Structure 1
Amino acid sequence: MWRFALELALGLALGLAALPAAALDAVETPSLAARVARGELPPVAARLPAEPLVVDPEASGRTFGRPGGSLVTLAPRARDIRYVSTFSYARLVGYDEALHLGPDILARVDDEAGRVFTLHLRPGHRWSDGHPFTAEDFRYFWEDVATNRELTPGGVPDFLLVDGRPPRFEVIDERTIRYAWDAPNPRFLPALAAPRDPYIYRPAHYLKRYHAVYTDPDALLQKARRQKLASWAALHNRVDDMNEGSNLDMPTLNPWRIATPAPASRFVFERNPYYHRVDTRGQQLPYIDRIVVDVAAAGLFAAKANAGEADLLARGLSILDVPILKEGERARGYRTLLWRNARGSELALYPNLNVVDPVWRALNRDVRFRRALSLGIDRRTLNNALFFGLGVEGANTVLEGSALHTPDLRTTNATYDPAEARRLLDAAGLNRRDGSGTRLLSDGRPLEIVVETDGDAPLVVDGLTLIAEFWREIGIRLIVKPQDRTVLRNRIYAGHTVLSAGPGLDNATPTPVMVPVELAPMRQDTWSWPKWGQYAETRGGAGEAVDMPEAMALQESFGRWAASADEAGKAAAWRDMLENHARNVWTIGTVAGAPHPIVVRSGLENLPRRGDWAWEPTAMLGVYRLDELYWSRPADGRPS
């Protein structure tokens, strides 16, 4: 079943096929022609896999591009160049725009009842340095990285475990690898398509020179100490950089590879001459030669876009920037697309059920308190003030358009009813007040909620300022505490926050086969239950076991989803979890689905006018295939 789904779903939607490279009459990329003439690179037909992934742009409503030029974008800090691998979105299997899952880097996947997955590589596929990409790269990751306790103390990634047990890994031949479990592993394929690639393979030919099994340990230790590292393992982990973009020597399968050493304020990514995609006219992708990332303060993004300093910009903008962006369109030669922000909520509140303060822990675990907080928010005013009235008011849940959406999920416990909020607060024992009208906790402290949030999220801070006014009417004082993002996360994970605020569900456009991991206490980075998530992620090594029956029900539903062999069973488990969230208000949503601005310079073609902007499952811009963007006229493109 999955073999045909994976081969055909993406192919039908995107016009992809696997044809011999020779049959395509491959065309040399102009920017690489001189290197080919000098003998530095083989010709394009020899660089492509024998069966490349063939793209027909017109089948997906795009146009054929012309190769060349550079694309400039912005990042708020040097570390954020790692998002280029998200935007690039080359995966073993990946989603298309319709969220069908299909092969990409892989030629195909054979799936036997969700328990045995056989991965088939493309013959002749090569890393960006020209070295063959083979089953040895998967073997190296499994045997020499994932199961090596010096390199991976936490053990193999969680999505590779079923009932706590890893797969049986087998190399069949040079281009075939198999993972087998005794029970189904429905998380395996979706994890391979994630915005952050789990990279179950590594360039073995490169990394072996840093591994003590293959290189003299004493020589490696000396090399590590020269870099002020304590061991060969620390050195290996530093150079084993598949996501971050800090190691220029690291081979990649992505369409572009980093070419600028840090530190820098401008980073350049150059095209991968061995990229595995080609269009039906024989042109190797990507069309654009270089991605340029300029580092700038996040608060200046809208102004820089208005000044024409970015060719493509989406991350770091918000609906609040739309007026200034629209103002500069004609003079600076760009257009502002308005995509749907496909998060569960633009602003969500997270009562910390694992907060260390016992009084606050008891209160946050009282569903009457959580419901009262939600019912005390005037979402219509929030929507009009922050989103020009263009959002959908309600809970933090899936969006319309998802097969799992029902209207009641958005409205249950998520309307504005201050009288009911007051009644619930009284019923929860918060019926005493001080002289200012603020309610008192059970130990006599005023009910002052410090809501902690990312200081780089002005829209969230503005929203909390409004919510403070609404909550004052029901006897609650809200204090906004913006701070550094890393500090915020560490405080949440340690149980030091009472309430935190940020965006809602990452994946609010799920299909039934996608993993409902955000809805169950499975991950530390779900801010309502960080210690329960720690416990799940470390398999009991840290954190706290779930001790609330309503949350245990989420775990049970997740288990039913994982055990379901058909889509109907998975959809039923998803709906149980969504309804559980609506009843119990584990998170408090406000407004969802407002437009998200995307700045696109005139002449940059093939980005759709409408789309969903989200981390998961769209990988921000990833499923919209940046490797197919191109400049329609030389005058519009950045100089080659």
Structure 2
Amino acid sequence: MKEAPMLAEMVKAGKLPPVQERLPKNPYVVPHPWLKEGKYGGTLRQLCSSSDDWGTTHLIQESMYGNSPLRWHKDGLAISGGWVEAWEANEDLSTWTFHIREGIKWSDGEPFTADDVLFWWEDMVLNEEVAEGPPDEARSGKGTLAKFKKVDDYTFQMIFDSPTPLTADRLAMWVKRGIGPGWSAPKHYSQKFHKKYNPNVKKNWADDFSFPGGKAVDFATNPECPTLTGWKLKSYTKMRNSIWERNPYYWCVDKWGNQLPYIDTVIMTNIQDPEVLKLKTIQGDCDFSHGGFQPFTLADVSTFKQNESKSNLHVEFWDSGSGTSSMYFFNHDYADPKLRELVRNPKFLKALSHAFDRQTAQTLIYYKTGELTTGTLSPKAIEYVINDQGKQVYRSWRDSAVEYNPDKAKQLLDEIGLKDTNGDGFREFPDGSKLLITIDYPADQPQNGEHVRKNELLAKNWQAVGINARMTPQPPTGYDDRWQAGKILMKTAWEVGDGPNHLVYPQWLVPMEYSRWSPLHGNWYNLRGTPKENQQKNVDPWKRNPPRIGPFDKEADPNIKKIWQMYDQTKTEPDFMKRTQLVWDMIKVHVDNGPYFCGVAANTPRIELFHKDLRNWPTHDDLKSWGQGGFVNPWIHPTPAVYDPETWYWENPDQHTQS
């Protein structure tokens, strides 16, 4: 095994064990075919633009897969082990056994074992004082939580009360202990903050287990918190930057036996003003810019290419895999009953979709790239490409309300009684009261960005068919609380990219949490199997904590009940094609009763910027020959983590150092 010279010096000085003792018995070997043996050293500079510190914490985590038990490869077409080396299930797929790579160590040198998994589950997830909450992949199709069992130091089991065929797929989602749920925590470090292990902890001890920002478990804000990632936090300044240094115990190597990462240091600097961010990128203050993190659009490509000599950045394109590009969707559980009834009406939803001139949006914003779509999950999803029926299902959803037809839109609006009764040019409710559609968007969105430009077209198109539509910026503070309380009508600054199949992260297809099109239904589903599931039944749904609508409420949507029932069947159905048919059936509910969310164009490209001296990053051709050309947009397929930036290196590392 080989290691970085700086680590070899520490070994020689007796400050660090030899590399063979720092690596597990069977390290993870990065498999990508485009890799070349690299050189150690140097600093990688990245920039982000964030008004809420998302960039300096979460975005850098999306570059590091180290805390995840399993990993996706080939743009979601394959799965390999992560810190789990091997796994198997019993015959009915109700008990899953996971074998941890023996000898993995946390960044402080302490062993990583099944105790760290059980600590996360028993002392964080199941502890009601800690806000971790159970991930959906730990629930069976019956809504009950799995039981976790330690078999030995390097083996644990998940035991369900019914088959759970998607467990392995779902353990590869996200970057765990980062964007996604934990799946482990450093028990030896975290237990000193936990009341169960330390009776002398502070009164609000559970705050130390919050994420982000919790001292006990947040390795992105607390340099003392151990991690399994390739780089560990050296320093963090809120809203300004985070500096990461190589983890001497990182458990991954390349095929030449070199312990990764190659690059010594990663610096993520937050630039709150997107225009200043662009200027600094052009001026050469950035070595890598990932399209999934930045406000850059295809309109910026010519500027980046014209300034290549100044920035030293090469422009590359990876497929977004998006099913929508910039999208919009209504709050299906809006608190006002008249508007709620309206946005649940399929004719209203279809009318506004037909009133939207997507072709103009595609031309002006996406330069005629991608394919026009009503809005679906990613076109790269396996359910769409597996056979002719899948292709037809995709087309039926993609084309269901994609046609730009203002006359059809007006006819549908007339049919539901929305007419201009006072002669002001805008339609009123059937009872004659004013109708206003607020096109809500976060106030910190760049005014020339894709979302705002799309919203401007939406407002113009909807006004043209008699809908009084007004763009309404929403302050970021308290946004999530207002959304799940039904106080915000629309979300318009997002996109759908999720795949590689619909069931690993079905939140766009199935209401199961609060951030998407049916927040109160999602909140109820998310609490299934917990003590809160059947509490507060006599309380107004919008006044419950959290606000939620269950199947027993008069406000419940019967179409969502259907989706929930079919989704629960998929969670216990071991036959792949039967699960796929259930997915197609859920899509039909969307087609018949939606569109519940609407996009512009699918699979538009994403801009990737790489310094001319940086090596081992994949080109679009590399990704096309190995996978699907890239799959940038879905956070559950964590890009660039899936391409292992720990393998990237500087051709001339001495020229890329920064203190």
TM-score (norm 1): 0.89
Any conservation in 1 of the 2:219–2:227 contact (CA below 8 Å)? no
Q: CA deviation at 1:56?
A: 4.9
Q: Is residue 289 from structure 1 mapped to residue 264 from structure 2 by the alignment?
A: yes
Q: CA deviation at 1:148?
A: 2.2
Q: Is residue 273 from structure 1 mapped to residue 263 from structure 2 by the alignment?
A: no
Counterpart for residue 527 of structure 2: 538
Any conservation in 2 of the 1:347–1:463 contact (CA below 8 Å)? yes
Counterpart for residue 195 of structure 2: 212
Alignment partners' CA distance in 2, 1:397 and 1:236: 36
Any conservation in 2 of the 1:92–1:106 contact (CA below 8 Å)? yes
Deviations 1:242-285 (A, max 9, x none): 45611111110011111104347332101111111112222101
Q: CA deviation at 1:241?
A: 5.0
Question: Kindly tell me: are residues 387 and 98 of structure 1, through their superposed partners in 2, closer, same or farther at Cα, counting changes over 3 Å?
Answer: closer
Counterpart for residue 303 of structure 1: 279
Aligned partner (choices 224, 227, 231) of residue 256 of structure 1: 231
Please give the residue correspondences for 1:484-499 in structure 2 after superposition, counting only pairs within 5 Å. Answer: 484-499=475-490
Counterpart for residue 538 of structure 2: none
Alignment partners' CA distance in 2, 1:625 and 1:593: 23
Any conservation in 1 of the 2:43–2:657 contact (CA below 8 Å)? yes
Alignment partners' CA distance in 2, 1:566 and 1:231: 47
Alignment partners' CA distance in 2, 1:214 and 1:487: 34
Aligned partner (choices 513, 520, 537) of residue 523 of structure 1: 513
- Matched to 1:441, the amino acid is F
Q: Is residue 92 from structure 1 mapped to residue 69 from structure 2 by the alignment?
A: yes
Please give the residue correspondences for 1:183-194 in structure 2 after superposition, counting only pairs within 5 Å. Answer: 183-194=162-173
Task: Indicate the RMSD between aligned Cα atoms, in angstroms.
Answer: 2.1
Q: CA deviation at 1:79?
A: 4.0
Counterpart for residue 47 of structure 2: 74
Counterpart for residue 420 of structure 1: 408
Please give the residue correspondences for 1:408-447 in structure 2 after superposition, counting only pairs within 5 Å. Answer: 408-447=396-435
- Matched to 1:97, the amino acid is K
Q: CA deviation at 1:480?
A: 0.8
Bigger mean CA deviation after superposition, 342-351 or 75-84: 75-84
Question: Kindly tell me: are residues 639 and 56 of structure 1, through their superposed partners in 2, closer, same or farther at Cα, counting changes over 3 Å?
Answer: farther
What residue ranges of structure 1 are gaps of 5+ in the alignment?
1-25, 222-229
Alignment partners' CA distance in 2, 1:638 and 1:155: 41
Any conservation in 2 of the 1:512–1:570 contact (CA below 8 Å)? no
Aligned partner (choices 496, 501, 504) of residue 511 of structure 1: 501
Bigger mean CA deviation after superposition, 367-376 or 170-179: 170-179
Q: CA deviation at 1:505?
A: 1.8
Counterpart for residue 11 of structure 1: none
Question: Kindly tell me: are residues 49 and 266 of structure 1, through their superposed partners in 2, closer, same or farther at Cα, counting changes over 3 Å?
Answer: same
Alignment partners' CA distance in 1, 2:605 and 2:218: 29
Alignment partners' CA distance in 2, 1:170 and 1:327: 58
Counterpart for residue 144 of structure 2: 165
Secondary structure of 2:453 counterpart: helix
Deviations 1:522-572 (A, max 9, x none): 11111x211111111123354112522322221122122212102212211
- Matched to 1:214, the amino acid is Y
Question: Kindly tell me: are residues 557 and 628 of structure 1, through their superposed partners in 2, closer, same or farther at Cα, counting changes over 3 Å?
Answer: same
Alignment partners' CA distance in 1, 2:527 and 2:180: 20
- Matched to 1:98, the amino acid is D
Bigger mean CA deviation after superposition, 137-146 or 109-118: 137-146
Bigger mean CA deviation after superposition, 419-428 or 135-144: 135-144
Any conservation in 2 of the 1:52–1:278 contact (CA below 8 Å)? yes
Please give the residue correspondences for 1:309-388 in structure 2 after superposition, counting only pairs within 5 Å. Answer: 309-314=285-290, 315-316=293-294, 317-388=296-367
- Matched to 1:207, the amino acid is S
Any conservation in 2 of the 1:75–1:293 contact (CA below 8 Å)? yes
Any conservation in 1 of the 2:438–2:470 contact (CA below 8 Å)? yes
Any conservation in 2 of the 1:302–1:324 contact (CA below 8 Å)? no
Please give the residue correspondences for 1:139-154 in structure 2 after superposition, counting only pairs within 5 Å. Answer: 139-152=118-131
Question: Kindly tell me: are residues 617 and 197 of structure 1, through their superposed partners in 2, closer, same or farther at Cα, counting changes over 3 Å?
Answer: closer
Q: CA deviation at 1:115?
A: 1.1
Alignment partners' CA distance in 2, 1:473 and 1:277: 57
Secondary structure of 2:104 counterpart: coil
Q: Is residue 555 from structure 1 mapped to residue 534 from structure 2 by the alignment?
A: no
Alignment partners' CA distance in 1, 2:95 and 2:466: 57
Bigger mean CA deviation after superposition, 580-589 or 416-425: 580-589
Bigger mean CA deviation after superposition, 338-347 or 39-48: 338-347
Bigger mean CA deviation after superposition, 276-285 or 534-543: 534-543
Q: CA deviation at 1:486?
A: 4.5
Counterpart for residue 11 of structure 2: 36
Alignment partners' CA distance in 1, 2:62 and 2:319: 19
Alignment partners' CA distance in 2, 1:336 and 1:360: 45
Counterpart for residue 593 of structure 1: 603
Question: Kindly tell me: are residues 424 and 79 of structure 1, through their superposed partners in 2, closer, same or farther at Cα, counting changes over 3 Å?
Answer: closer
Any conservation in 2 of the 1:259–1:269 contact (CA below 8 Å)? yes
Alignment partners' CA distance in 2, 1:166 and 1:234: 24
Deviations 1:361-407 (A, max 9, x none): 11111111100000001111111111111132121113444332332
Any conservation in 2 of the 1:82–1:244 contact (CA below 8 Å)? no
Counterpart for residue 436 of structure 2: 448
Secondary structure of 1:310 counterpart: coil
Question: Kindly tell me: are residues 56 and 398 of structure 1, through their superposed partners in 2, closer, same or farther at Cα, counting changes over 3 Å?
Answer: closer
Any conservation in 2 of the 1:82–1:243 contact (CA below 8 Å)? no
- Matched to 1:470, the amino acid is N
Alignment partners' CA distance in 2, 1:550 and 1:147: 32
Counterpart for residue 4 of structure 1: none
Alignment partners' CA distance in 2, 1:401 and 1:165: 31
Aligned partner (choices 106, 122, 132) of residue 111 of structure 2: 132
- Matched to 2:13, the amino acid is R
- Matched to 2:615, the amino acid is E
Aligned residues: 600
Q: CA deviation at 1:450?
A: 0.6
Q: CA deviation at 1:198?
A: 1.9
Q: Is residue 626 from structure 1 mapped to residue 645 from structure 2 by the alignment?
A: yes
Counterpart for residue 566 of structure 1: 575
Q: CA deviation at 1:493?
A: 1.0
Alignment partners' CA distance in 2, 1:337 and 1:354: 41
Counterpart for residue 16 of structure 1: none
Alignment partners' CA distance in 2, 1:192 and 1:121: 13
Q: CA deviation at 1:636?
A: 5.5
Any conservation in 2 of the 1:79–1:244 contact (CA below 8 Å)? no
Question: Kindly tell me: are residues 45 and 242 of structure 1, through their superposed partners in 2, closer, same or farther at Cα, counting changes over 3 Å?
Answer: same
Deviations 1:339-373 (A, max 9, x none): 22222212212122211111111111111110000
Q: CA deviation at 1:501?
A: 1.0
Bigger mean CA deviation after superposition, 431-440 or 92-101: 431-440
Any conservation in 1 of the 2:397–2:591 contact (CA below 8 Å)? yes
Q: CA deviation at 1:103?
A: 0.7
Question: Kindly tell me: are residues 241 and 419 of structure 1, through their superposed partners in 2, closer, same or farther at Cα, counting changes over 3 Å?
Answer: farther
Alignment partners' CA distance in 2, 1:28 and 1:286: 9
Secondary structure of 1:142 counterpart: helix
